[in-house]
Amino acid sequence: MKNKVSPEVATQALKIAKGIQRPEQTKEQTKLVAQGIEKGIAEYKKQQNKKLRELDKQRKQQTKQRENKNTVTENTVSTNRYIKPLPWILLILSWLGFFVYFAL
């Protein structure tokens, strides 16, 4: 399976290969060096794309976790809103019950 590289990468690889060319090196050898550089560039780009995909997956997971955390927090806050005055209401009712009991 042959890797397809863009023309920009091919010209860049050839430019690099010519830059490091030795005086006794033939054109065929230079082309082989350029092909090796092309493969290296293609492999590097694949690795970078893979890293970017992994980072994107992690970022999405973190946002999902934050959203889940926020919804759980909102649910507990709404439940706590009604529970907080309950002890005071029960205390007042018990005192009223004592007053009514002793008054009769």
pLDDT of residue 20: 82
Is the Cα torsion angle 59, 64, 69, 70 positive or negative in sign? positive
Query: Would the pLDDT of 2 be above 60?
Result: no
| Residues in the chain, overall count | 104
Q: Give the Cα separation of 25 and 31 in Å (integer).
A: 10
CB 9 within 8 A of CB 38: yes
Residues 22-48 have pLDDT tens digits of 888 888 998 899 899 899 998 999 999
pTM for this model (two decimals): 0.53
Q: Which two tokens stand for residue 99?
A: 């007053």
Least confident of 7-11, 16-20, 66-70, 77-81: 77-81
pLDDT of residue 1: 41
Helices 7-19 and 27-83 pack at an angle, to 10 degrees, of 120
Average pLDDT of span 52-75: 85
DSSP 84: T
Query: Would the pLDDT of 98 be above 80?
Result: yes
Per-chain mean pLDDT for the chain: 84
pLDDT of residue 74: 64
